[in-house]
């Protein structure tokens, strides 16, 4: 093959590869940029609410704090309530990911259950008094999150009962509901130490009595 022909073939192949990959790379970069901008907006919302209160936050404030123009902000969200809803949905998803990680830890069922309950109680305590959480507490994504949490806790309790570690005189679903409602008190606990004591008391009620 001549040098000229080799050059033409090489050029054609390079052009084909570049035109095939470029749209994909461009799309991935654009999606990454959009995620970053959206994340910056939600972070700005949380910071502004914490500093100034829920009622005082405006779209102009959000745009300025996120480092974008108002026109760009409106491409992502129609109003401040949409921003708040998206922030809360992201928080619920993040919390659920932590709970799933606790559920996936190695170890005996009682150990895994303790990890799940400690994680849930810690999250409840950390967000006590949040105006955003109070505003969005009845959202559909919250209901789905609680349903998934109940499922995780009930699953581990069932494993613990089968292993002889946890009580089996009450159904796992009922015990899971008991745990979640009991640890809801962690939201108003005065300290992390109080949260840990609450978890310990809750776990004590689940252990199988010695016969």
More confident call, 104 vs 33: 104
Q: Domain ranges in the chain? A: 1-77, 84-211
Residue 147 confidence (pLDDT) above 70: yes
Residue 126's pLDDT band (cuts 50, 70, 90): confident
**Is 137's pLDDT higher than 70?**
no
Residue 21: what pLDDT?
Answer: 44
Q: Residue 25: what pLDDT?
A: 54
Q: What digits encode the pLDDT tens for the residues 60-103? A: 999 999 999 999 999 999 999 999 989 888 888 888 999 999 99
84-211 maps to CATH 1.10.357.10: yes
User: Fold match between 1-77 and 84-211?
Assistant: no
pLDDT in tens, 38-60: 999 999 998 998 888 888 899 99
Q: At the fourth CATH level, which superfamily is domain 1-77?
A: Homeodomain-like (1.10.10.60)
CB of 203 closer than 8 Å to CB of 114: yes
Query: What's the confidence (pLDDT) of residue 14?
Result: 45
Q: What is the pLDDT of residues 26-37, one digit of tens each?
A: 556 888 888 999
Quote the radius of gyration of the chain (alpha carbons, Å): 25
Which of these, 98, 40, 26, lies nearest to 69 by C-alpha position?
A: 40
Per-residue model confidence as pLDDT tens digits over 165-205: 999 999 999 999 999 999 989 988 999 999 999 999 999 99
Global pTM reads 0.74
Secondary structure in 3-state letters for 106-149: CCCHHHHHHHHHHHHHHHHHHCCCCHHHHHCCCCHHHHHHHHHH
């Amino acid at each position: 093959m001549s040098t000229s022909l080799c050059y033409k073939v090489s050029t054609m192949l390079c052009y084909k590869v570049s035109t095939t990959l470029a749209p994909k790379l461009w799309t991935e970069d654009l999606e990454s940029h959009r995620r970053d901008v959206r994340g910056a907006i939600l972070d700005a919302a949380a910071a502004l609410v914490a500093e100034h209160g829920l009622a005082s936050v405006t779209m102009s404030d959000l745009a300025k704090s996120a480092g974008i123009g108002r026109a760009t902000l409106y491409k992502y969200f129609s109003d401040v309530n949409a921003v708040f809803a998206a922030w809360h949905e992201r928080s619920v998803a993040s919390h659920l990911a932590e709970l799933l990680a606790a559920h996936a830890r190695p170890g005996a069922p009682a150990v895994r259950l303790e990890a799940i309950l400690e994680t849930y109680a810690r999250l409840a305590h950390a967000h006590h008094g949040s105006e955003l959480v109070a505003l969005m507490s009845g959202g559909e994504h919250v209901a789905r999150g609680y349903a998934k949490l109940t499922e995780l806790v009930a699953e581990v309790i069932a494993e613990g009962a089968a292993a002889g570690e946890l009580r089996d005189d009450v159904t796992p679903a009922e015990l899971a509901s008991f745990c979640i409602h009991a640890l809801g008190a962690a939201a108003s606990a005065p300290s992390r130490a109080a949260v840990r004591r609450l978890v310990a008391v809750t776990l004590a009620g689940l252990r199988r009595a010695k016969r």
